[in-house]
A and B are shown apart, each in its own frame.
Chain A
């Protein structure tokens, strides 16, 4: 069953840097869908459409529909704040907010109006365990989040999203700044998380794409070249361009 359906989505920025051209794509629930391809292919743009973070940029042209649970999220009347609570996002560079570890985790809940302290504490513990960070920070939740290492910060960002119990998690190259061990930890938690969430991942390498993908979509210059189950796309792609990229002949 598809959680997200993208129908004929076309998008241009005013500076023509990146674009999406007539994308149609169904993203299944409870699986990791990997969106990969060379830089400038529109991967980040697609993610930013899914939680309407693109509202803030200079989009000069947009057409098409994006449905989450059969509801059009591009509808201008839609409450983007609620949407962003349902569709969480982790960025390429870990951005911890200038607060303590605990406050980073409760910030989303607080702005959502949650006041019950015991619920918050439960959410903190649950999300940190899910993000494989609990053991490392349980004794110092009140330390400034900026004091954590890069890998810990990125897992904190993941935990921060999980604390809100979203339905969809968007990850934009979440391990690009991390060492192999931290990368491994994040990937492991993703495999665990997909049981509960719909995950859309822009990986930072083809190898990671192949490791993580249940489904994979190959993007090239704003165009969706191929979409298939992960095993098929990485071992037996239909399109020549996909094959060339996966085998490392360009990009």
Chain B
């Protein structure tokens, strides 16, 4: 009896440990395969031409700058939309809305976050881009702007729900203290609640950016997919092509082991590095904040 309990205990702890380690193993393996398939690109294409401005794989032009630029412009646009609206909505839900409104809004935001991006892309093609074309009088509505708007919409639920949690975690006593000093509701939010929740809000922003830069389907559907190096603000109103869309569109028709194949994986490495940087930045900021808070509380 005692022995079997002991064994069960042993098995269960092992099982959990394996599950825990598996996350590390998976990330390690993904990174390993990415490197194995992607790094040969550096040997087959000259470094200078890899980072040139022309992407035309059929004629062996593998300049990935337009793709990086496309991703950047779409992601920055999306961030500019998602952050103010997302944080604003979170402030409304957690600080201003009456309780019944909060109880409607919160689940709605979660539902919005769970919508498959293909569905949103579909709406983007059918409604958003024709509307943009007419409104802005463009030759085509399938532009970086459409991608930004759509991606912004996709990232908003993430930003809202994470920053709402952060705002909610600010002790009520902070608000009481500010109000008792004669601050108005808005002054309390802007100068006290938001700064107190800033690490959480920052995490929300980073997660939103991460969501935007990794998104593929919706972007591929609405950005027009022309690999043009964006130059200046005008590029927002022209078609663009992101790194993710390139991989998704071309991986299916490339010969295994060809130069093109390796370059696509190399783009994957760059994507991986970018989201790694975003995540590491977010967690160091949060970690530093938490450290400081612990020191203060102890």
Interface residues in chain A, defined as those with a beta carbon under 8 Å from any beta carbon in chain B: 51, 53, 56, 81-82, 84-85, 88-89, 91, 93, 95, 97-99, 107-108, 111-112, 146-147, 157, 160-161, 164
Contact = CB atoms under 8 A, between A and B. Distances in A.
B107 interface: no
B195 interface: yes
A84 B174 contact: no
A81 B184 contact: yes
Contacts of A95: 171, 173-174, 176-177
Interface secondary structure of A, over-half rule: helix
B195 A84 contact: no
A27 to B, nearest CB: 18
A107 B191 contact: yes
A97 B175 CA distance: 9
A156 B180 CA distance: 15
B296 A93 contact: no
A61 B18 CA distance: 57
30 contacts: A51-B180, A53-B180, A56-B175, A84-B179, A84-B181, A84-B182, A85-B181, A88-B180, A89-B180, A91-B177, A91-B180, A93-B173, A95-B171, A95-B174, A97-B177, A97-B192, A98-B174, A98-B192, A99-B191, A99-B195, A107-B178, A108-B181, A108-B182, A111-B182, A111-B187, A146-B292, A146-B296, A147-B296, A157-B177, A164-B182
A251 to B, nearest CB: 25
B196 interface: yes
Given A91-B173, A111-B184, A111-B187, A98 B196 contact: yes
Contacts of B181: 84-85, 88, 107-108, 111, 160-161, 164
B228 interface: no
Contacts of A146: 292, 296
